[in-house]
Amino acid sequence: MAITGNTNIRYSGTDAFDTAESVLDNIVDLAPMQAPMLATMKRGANPMAITREWRLDYSGAWPASMGAVPTRGEGQDADPAATAARPAYFNRTHIIGYDFSVSHTERAVKKFGIEDEYAHQEVKASRKLVRALEHTVMNSTIDVDSLGPNTGAAANKRKMGGLVDLITNPGSYLVSGSTAASADALGHTAAATATMVIGDITGLLNTVWNVGGMPNGYTHGFCNGTAKRVLSALFSPTTASSTVYRREIDGPGKMVDLVVDVVETDFGFLYIHLARSAPSEVLVGVDPEFFELNVLRDFETIDLAKTGPSNHGLVEVEATCSLTGMNTGWKLTAVN
């Protein structure tokens, strides 16, 4: 006789503690890691101190009329004017680091995807350090130590100024001299109109070009995801369209291109980079030849002294950045 309606079959769903688990013997870190600013900017000289200085000179604005041209008469005697002082700018080094600690027992326990927990934490901290440095060279505001070692919060520690602050507040980085003689050659900022148009970008690039801020014929812009979508939509086939895009005629199949990464303008090429560290609704620009990373102490792992059955480690870097061509930096806000 056949058995029907049997509900007492032994099946895998009841093997809560009997079935060998199928586990991927690997660890996948889901965190974003791209660092376009560090990948683009120039690696400059070691500052060899906790500050980095650079000197600027400025020969004045381009002649606006024949009145600015020093026309001379035949045999005219020389009567030279006093030479202008060259202003000096500086930035401070910034120490960034992550520490970690792992017990001896934790290192001895067998784990999925990890041979040594201490080594895993060391690599993880090093990767996070790259992200932190990327964010710092974009967003940090210059500051000096206000308290001694091992005292105070992060707000009391020495900090570099990042690209945004170098462009926005160049006077904070003046060591000596006067900004008056080079005011036209400093970073420039502008705000996009309420309904953003292409002229908001080209107008600012025109200003930068006027003061010699595009000597190589190109500039690089950095923005977050929201602003990047706005910029790609801005260069649609029609000014009123944010949904119709260019078709790649020579592309594979019927590919539609939704991305704008390079724009050729009247004033040179603009390369647009997707950067998580870029401020919201802001397009920050610079010529990478004139924006340097100056590393005083390179990335290092420090094995700290033992205080018991555990291992302590620290990853650290000390660096600053220099906007050696102040006129190459620019910032467009209200990109929305």
Segment 211-222 shows an average pLDDT of 95
Rounded to two decimals, what is the model's pTM?
0.89
Is the predicted pLDDT of residue 194 greater than 80, yes or no? yes
Return the H-helix or E-strand segment holding 135: helix 117-139
Cβ-in-10-Å burial (0-12, 13-18, 19+) of 258 comes to: exposed
Is the predicted pLDDT of residue 239 greater than 60, yes or no? no
* 198 contacts 205 by C-beta, under 8 angstroms: no
Is the predicted pLDDT of residue 198 greater than 90, yes or no? yes
Domain 36-57+85-333 has CATH 3.90.1690: yes
Is the predicted pLDDT of residue 1 greater than 60, yes or no? no
Q: Smallest Cα–Cα separation from 182: which of 286, 287, 60?
A: 60
Percent pLDDT > 70 in the chain is 93
**Maximum separation of any 2 CA atoms in the chain, in Å:** 130
Paired tokens of 69: 């041209």
